[in-house]
Amino acid sequence: MAPQRAVQLSLKKPTYAVCVVGVETYVDVHSDVPKGAETFGVSGSPGVEVFVIYDPARVTVPTGKTRWPLDANVDVTVSADAASKALHDLKVKVSYFGRQEAGALGHSVLYLTAADVSLDVDTGRTGKVKRNHDDKKTWRWGPEGYGAVLLVNCDRDSVVSAGPDLTNSQLATLDDLQDMSPMVLSCDGPDSLFDTHKLVLDVPFSDSRRVGVFCARGGTSLKDYKQVLGPQRLSYEVERQPGERKISFFVEGLAFPDVDFLGLVSLSVSLVDTGTLPEVPLFTDTVAFRVAPWIMTPNTQPPLELYACSVVDSHGSNKKFLEDMSDLALKANCKLIICPQIENRNDRWIQDEMEFGYTEAPHKAFPVVFDSPRNRGLKHFPYKRILGPDFGYVTREILFAGASSLDSFGNLDVSPPVTVGGKEYPLGRILIGSSFPKSGGRRMAKVVRDFLQAQQVQAPVELYSDWLSVGHMDEFLSFVPTSDQKGFRLLLASPIACLKLFQQKKEEGYGEAAQFDAYEEHGFGRELAPRQSSVSPFSDCVAWIMSLNLSLPPTRREAVNMVVLGKHLGIPKPFGPIIDGRCCLEEKVRSLLEPLGLRCIFIDDYLSYHELLGEIHCGTNVRRQPFSFKWWHMVP
């Protein structure tokens, strides 16, 4: 809001002024006063509210409140409760009196013209704009919070667009308006008032790169909408038509929160008197938006789409693996999407290339793919094939350096909702594989870590994964949903648990049973004699990670690089020793997971993935349902 205006009265002639509905105007009753005057009375015509402001400790209220002492401790403000129908149709009269009971010593008259000017957005987060006189220029988190939300317009609603919609200064389709937040400008008042006054919409320079505003002129064609604010335009003189009382705008976000952007933007409208030099803003109304964050979804969210790549190598094609994925997707009631070899350029590690998430406002939500900076064979797949109508795209590139293995998104995960030290994380916490603290080892690129941290709603945690050759977290941990009260479990790989199982089976008389027996003709068979020294470093690192206070439920330790589709788990076939006609490793995993309501489906990925230092999770990706919890209800 602009500072409260002061209107100075005159005994010699009427004073004319413009006010804004619902906004108090200070009336100076002290500057031009008749000689001998000691009290005054003030009245307003219908439609005008008069307020006498005083300090009860210093001023005695007069009988009937008709004549107030004329000193500096008593002030007067007025406001209008509706827009004027004509110029100067509202009246305020001030009469001055002396000590005697005679008539007034003089009168001052103020004629007001009231304009109804208000900039309104969805501060209540209901999906609709409602007129609001409360504080619109601040934004508050939490279930009792308020403030409007912007979506980053990062999808591509028109096939003719070259990139995301946010790169266009013109609408390519009316569908794009659904991705924008509505904003309404009230501009009621006599048409002749706007011959000498104008409405100006502004965006601060610091926000102009992050927000765009389109003006709607009531039609249904693309030409009826034009961008009026954005990176190239900081101010717009509103084109009000005669008799027009409301003007609609649509606001889009142009950037997600990041290290240099907290996510808050503001827009203002000013009523400006053009009859003065310099022009004077009489009133300013400001609204604030927060740009909706990018949100990851954990394995506990229901699956919608399963992605995998079709590849050919020295062992042939992975057709059988894709058939197994198709069967798994059918069981889980989700869609299988296969990236053909011509598009993946024989890069099968689709989990490393991208991470699915979403963004949400009260009026709409849509999925957004985060493209990693690894830039290998699948480099163009997220942008060319996933970006589309109501499917957004975001990426962060590493400048002046190449990507390391830890920049792949197999090294990025998110927990289910957790509570840590009494602090609730209703959208879970992002997990990033990193080096041992203060060791100077490999870390995920700062530009990616900064982006994830800036989203605020899934506070990232860095875990030690650099001890692995590839260095990805999905090599040793995974979350699965469960049907009990806990709702999920964290699975951790444990070579020691595997060693104990093998030793147990050896003591039971199965020492000659071989691992990888199915691949014995390739020389893969191994007797049950693993060495302790080969598993201790792995287990020590996993144990150290679990010593961190992540407040996670009790864990199971087994093969974890799996794809989780609801209760259906696609687990790499371990080819363990066959005992009584069954793989003892599979039986052990089933005994741990199936009592939790999960279904274990073992899939052969040995030649196509395992031999290339990856497993099923590395070679698949899953888009999941968003959380039902609204991110703006939390307090970061």
User: Which residues are tagged catalytic?
Assistant: 352, 472, 474, 618
Tally the C-alpha atoms within 13 A of residue 198's C-alpha that lie toward its C-beta.
13
* Residues with Cβ within 8 Å of residue 68, at least 6 apart in sequence: 39, 40, 41, 42, 52, 54, 59, 62, 74
* 316 burial level (CB within 10 Å; 0-12, 13-18, 19+): exposed
| Residue 478: how many other CB atoms lie within 10 Å | 25
> Are 86 and 111 within 8 A, CB to CB?
no
Mind spelling out the 3-state secondary structure of 109-173? EEEEEEEEEEEECCCCCCCCCCCCCCCCCCCECCCCCECEEECECCCCCCCCCCCCHHHCCCCCC
The candidate with the shortest Cα–Cα distance to 212, out of 289, 158, 146, 135, is 289
**C-alpha separations of 16 from 64, 96, 196 in Å:** 29, 20, 13
392 forms bridges with which residues in the sheet? 368
Residue 33 corresponds to which amino acid? V
Residue 198 corresponds to which amino acid? K
* Residues with Cβ within 8 Å of residue 474, at least 6 apart in sequence: 351, 410, 411, 413, 560, 561, 617, 618
Mark out the alpha helices in 345-394 (DSSP H runs). 350-353, 381
* 350 burial level (CB within 10 Å; 0-12, 13-18, 19+): buried
Q: How far apart are CA 92 and CA 31, in angstroms?
A: 16
Please give the distance of CA 90 from its chain centroid, rounded to a whole number: 46
What Rg do the C-alpha atoms of the chain give, in angstroms?
Answer: 34
Burial 16-39 (b: 16+ CB within 10 A, else e): ebbbbbbbbbbbbbeebbbeebeb
Mind spelling out the 3-state secondary structure of 77-107? EEEECCCCCCCCCEEEEEEEECCCCCCCCEE
**In terms of residues, how long is the chain?**
636
* Strand bridging mode 303-309 / 335-339: parallel
Both tokens of 569, joined, read: 């788990």
* Residues with Cβ within 8 Å of residue 97, at least 6 apart in sequence: 37, 38, 39, 40, 41, 67, 104, 105
> Are 525 and 515 within 8 A, CB to CB?
yes
Q: How far apart are CA 228 and CA 215, in angstroms?
A: 6
Both tokens of 152, joined, read: 């980053």
* 477 burial level (CB within 10 Å; 0-12, 13-18, 19+): buried
Cα maximum dimension of the chain: 123
> Are 245 and 287 within 8 A, CB to CB?
no
